[in-house]
Structure 1
Amino acid sequence: MQLKDPLILESHYDLDIRKSWGAYSPFYSVQEYIPPPDGCELTQVNILQRHGARFPTFGASINIVSAVRKLQSVDEYAHPAMEFLSSFVYTLGINDLVPSGALQSYQAGATVFERYGDLVNADNLPFVRASSGVRVVDSANNWTAGFSAASHHKYNPPLSVILSEEGNDTLENHMCPNAGTSAAQTAEWLAIYAPPITARLNSWAPGANLTDPETSALISLCAFHTAASASPSAKLNALSPFCALFTPSDFASFDYYYDLDKYYNTGYGAPRGLGRVQGVGYVNELLARLTRSPVRDETQTNRTLDADPVTFPLNRTIYADFSHDNTMVAIFGALGLFRQPRALSTTQPDAQRTWRTHEMVPFSGRMVVEKLACEDGGEYVRILVNDALQPLSFCASEGDRFGVGSCTLSAFIESQSYARSNGGGDWERCFPRLNFNN
């Protein structure tokens, strides 16, 4: 879905509930944006953004549809919260953006112009790329529409490059065959948190015989149905009636399920240590832009496109790339963001953890890398994730004079040894070893 030119509307969310949906939470600013410190001015902005809110994937829809059918097959409900199911009709699609998801990207583009518009002119428009998934491409196009509208259509950046998800693509994590999944870790947590909820729902709908995976799917339906039912013209959109089936504690447990999912899929806890290597290619492209030098990478990059100044220019001031949540998590790991003092527990959530999926990769979530020129003659780097300034403990000591979260450009480049070494041997471990012995 692509919005043509809607009004820019203010978002109103009941964040206490909606930011407990893990990867299905809507975008919100985790912190108020902090402008560059006095004595510094912005010279370059790099944006990496997830697509907007969508329908469930095909795989997720299987348990969702099964659960709804079971609930609608019972003779009588034992709790009034279930009564809406008597007339409910499931109409959700598969994969594609919903209108509220399209609006998220549109508003993001408008925000970028409002915040960084001084960096562009008619000869220096934002350079925009997207991975080739339909929802990602549509999100990129909605972003450019929002940017254009905010400039009163003076600046109309095109989507210049679409990276095929069938080939080398730094915006899609599909190039590490030996990478494992988070299935074991999420199953362990599901077996702890879901049974009491399943028992409660089954008591409310006698004979439904829901399973724990179907219960988890119903919690996700709260998020998906809310997003799909939202009207871009409404200032306040109601929560889906499915949300009333669950308590704040239920949502908190569901939220942690996705913390585990991302941490053990493409994050620091990935099986065989092959999560963050899937973000190396993008980091090396980022380093090339920050230093205005050719890309040096032997992992996921498309060498042909990255060697061509038309498809990978080094002279722009704003770059915007559109991707997926799992890929962004790998990129965060490759950069060294959101490190945890210990691996996430599959049985007991750590209340002090900073690895919170709804703060990292909600629908339309974004990372922004700002390059600054400061009065001491030096160049500096800041990173913001959903407007929250990241501490950059791996390189920040040299930049403390310009505020927490800033590194000198040279210190930042030096800190990225994992990417500059093509994953320090991890990339080679992505591929099966061939045995030619009989």
Structure 2
Amino acid sequence: MQQIRTGIVCLSLVSAATAITGSSVFSESLISQQVFDGENFLKYDGVRGPYVDRVSYGISRDPPAQCTVGQVIMVKRHGERYPASDEGPSIEQALNKVNSTLARSGNYTGDLAFLKNWTYFVPSDCYEAETYTGPYAGLTDAYNHGKDYRSRYGHLWDGKSILPMFTADFQRVIETAQEFGEGFFGNDTYSIKAALNIISESDSQGADSLTPTCHRQDDNAQNICNDLPYHLPQLDVAADRLNSQYHGLNLNWTNVYNLMLMSAYELNTRPTSDWINVFTIDEWVSFAHIWNTNFYYCSGPGNEYMRAVGSLYVNATLSLLREGPSSNSLFFNFAHDSNITPIITALGIATPSENLTVDQVAFGTRWNIHDIVPMGGRLTIERLNCADSALAPAGPFVRLVLNEAVVPLQGCHNGPGYSCPLDNYTSFVQGLPNFVTECEVPSSDPQYLNFWWNYTTSTESNFVKGTRCNGLA
């Protein structure tokens, strides 16, 4: 049986899927003619498992030689977590079906032989929570990301001023922001030099939000969203294979989907999962497509209003970029996956040429959700200050970095390092739809994103904690 390689789950999270890393020159040693990205499980896990870098275009992550980074605006998805509360019952139902059948028959052989010594990994009351054990724990990932960005962007903070950070008001998102902050500032300095601003997720926030709501609905897209998960025959094949090994098992394709879902989540709290190799590469490709399609129609370019939703953030970042570097040149923001995909949609950097279909895997599409918003995923916008060169005259340029890979803006990448001149970027953004108008934001709600200019420097929210799970705070 063709199986997916599980060794990748022990790779560094920083370079799990990067073919060329760091160096500005190619190695002089013998170059491998094998590329294994297509066998990396983290590219098929439906962004339910650990963070993985985006497959890059080979553009250096570091700024071009004639440029310096003068301003950074980042939005980050919360880190790795346990399953959502609405996923837990279906996962447990499928798992109970398997465990009861094997226990009744005593048949601990075949593909599920490991279950004799395997235990479910979600502690009581931990659904929805950030994970805190294992090499891919969400809290560890956020902390390490903060440390990495301190090394990369620390020159933009004077070490004295209080730096605001902005997070959506959801516990795991808040915890991600806090851990990132401790990594960026250092554990002791975070308490006195960061100012965590918690932005309500209420619809009444209107445009002044990291989690904006559109009051208009694309009925076709919504109907597709409501049908998750979608049936693909490869999951029937998996069910038949397992049912043939264990008399009376009677798995159906939705049971298989939930067991695959569980497999991905297990890596968020353990080093590996024996469940991964229960399913073939073909089956994981189908699982990934289910999630590609989900994001495409629920919060991506398959929904006619998502460009408008994403334009809210993009327009506000343009205002910051045009103002340029100031005493505060770092804007760190934290939200959910479904708040980041509209931004990617507005920028057009992953929009495919054709709509995704529910019943057939789309090969070669630009909309691969694992490259867009994995757990802990982030979009970082850099304002580059560049000297005169053969490429372009001196001036400000904009560069987009998605999950640590530079992604050129389509039709505007004639600057150093395939960046976009700020004037050209301005013209692009000004052509986006208006969020307030398109999404019919009530006139009684805020009409502009204002929290980047109207923030608190109080440190009182820096350690706000809720119950993480199982009594752990």
The answer, yes or no, to whether TM exceeds 0.5 is yes
Do the aligned residues in 1 keep the contact of 2:260 with 2:275 (CA within 8 Å)?
yes
Moved more, 22-31 or 90-99: 22-31
Do the aligned residues in 2 keep the contact of 1:78 with 1:204 (CA within 8 Å)?
no
1:105 aligns with 2:146: no
CA offset digits 1:90-120 (Å, max 9, x no partner): 3512000001111111111011111111111
1:336 aligns with 2:348: yes
1:164 aligns with 2:205: no
Deviation at 1:193, TM superposition (A): 3.2
Residue in structure 1 matched with residue 423 of structure 2 by the alignment: 410
Residue in structure 2 matched with residue 363 of structure 1 by the alignment: 375
SS in structure 2 opposite 1:24?
Answer: coil
Higher-helix-fraction structure: 1
CA offset digits 1:269-318 (Å, max 9, x no partner): 12xx122322232222212211239xxxxxxxxxxxxxxxxxxx975111
Distance 1:157 1:263 in 2: 39
Q: Cα gap change, 1:276/1:213 in structure 2, threshold over 3 Å: closer, same or farther?
A: farther
Deviation at 1:179, TM superposition (A): 4.9
Instruction: Select which of 180, 186, 195 maps to 1:143.
Output: 180
Q: Cα gap change, 1:157/1:265 in structure 2, threshold over 3 Å: closer, same or farther?
A: farther
Distance 1:121 1:14 in 2: 33
Distance 1:266 1:418 in 2: 20
Residue in structure 1 matched with residue 450 of structure 2 by the alignment: none
SS in structure 2 opposite 1:337?
Answer: coil
1:257-406 equivalent positions in 2, closer than 5 A: 257-270=290-303, 273-292=304-323, 315-375=327-387, 376-396=393-413, 400-404=414-418, 406=419
Q: Which amino acid aligns with 2:298?
A: N
Instruction: Select which of 80, 84, 94 maps to 1:57.
Output: 84
Deviation at 1:255, TM superposition (A): 1.2
Q: Cα gap change, 1:352/1:218 in structure 2, threshold over 3 Å: closer, same or farther?
A: same
Report percent identity of matched pairs: 25
Instruction: Select which of 240, 246, 249 maps to 1:199.
Output: 240
Do the aligned residues in 2 keep the contact of 1:48 with 1:368 (CA within 8 Å)?
yes
Q: Cα gap change, 1:188/1:220 in structure 2, threshold over 3 Å: closer, same or farther?
A: closer
Moved more, 173-182 or 410-419: 173-182
Deviation at 1:50, TM superposition (A): 0.4
1:66 aligns with 2:103: no
The unaligned stretches of length 5 or more in structure 2 are 1-10, 18-39, 388-392, 444-473
Distance 1:159 1:22 in 2: 33
Q: Which amino acid aligns with 1:22?
A: G
CA offset digits 1:66-88 (Å, max 9, x no partner): 10111112122474332333454
Instruction: Select which of 36, 44, 57 maps to 1:20.
Output: 44
TM-score (norm 2): 0.75
Q: Which amino acid aligns with 2:128?
A: N
SS in structure 2 opposite 1:58?
Answer: coil
CA offset digits 1:17-43 (Å, max 9, x no partner): 223212213222223752222222111
SS in structure 2 opposite 1:203?
Answer: helix
CA offset digits 1:316-372 (Å, max 9, x no partner): 111110011111001111222212111123233332212111111001011110001
1:228 aligns with 2:269: yes
Deviation at 1:226, TM superposition (A): 2.0
1:114 aligns with 2:144: no
SS in structure 2 opposite 1:27?
Answer: coil
Moved more, 329-338 or 179-188: 179-188
Q: Cα gap change, 1:61/1:188 in structure 2, threshold over 3 Å: closer, same or farther?
A: closer
Distance 1:318 1:24 in 2: 29
Residue in structure 1 matched with residue 456 of structure 2 by the alignment: none
Q: Cα gap change, 1:209/1:174 in structure 2, threshold over 3 Å: closer, same or farther?
A: farther
Distance 1:38 1:87 in 2: 54
Deviation at 1:14, TM superposition (A): 7.2
